[in-house]
């Protein structure tokens, strides 16, 4: 994942990924197939509303690769 972030976002100067689905796909392309979902499960509880879960997905997309 670290190599993928460096090669795609740093060297190629690609834009940051702020969309949850795009970040999930980025993780999969870096052979970290379950990373996005694992982190999302760690910060989300079953009792949270759909809006809160969606917000957590957006937060995860913004901060996972910092």
DSSP result, the chain:
-HHHHIIIIIIS-PPP---HHHHHHHHHHTT-TTHHHHHHHHH--TTS-HHHHHHHHHHHHHHTT-
For residue range 30-46, list pLDDT tens digits in order. Answer: 888 898 899 899 999 98
Under 8 Å between Cβ of 20 and 57: yes
Which residues span the domain enclosing 29? 2-63
Average pLDDT score over residue span 18-38: 88
Number of separate domains in the chain: 1
Q: Is the pLDDT assigned to residue 63 strictly greater than 70?
A: no
What's the pLDDT at 64? 53
What's the pLDDT at 38? 92
Token pair in block for residue 20: 């949850």
What's the pLDDT at 65? 53
């Amino acid at each position: 994942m670290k190599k993928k972030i460096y090669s795609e976002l740093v060297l190629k100067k690609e834009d940051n990924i702020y969309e949850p689905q795009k970040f999930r796909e980025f993780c999969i392309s870096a052979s970290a197939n379950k990373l996005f979902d694992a982190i999302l499960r760690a910060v989300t509880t079953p009792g949270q509303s759909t809006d809160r879960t969606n917000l957590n997905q957006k937060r995860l997309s913004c901060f996972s690769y910092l």
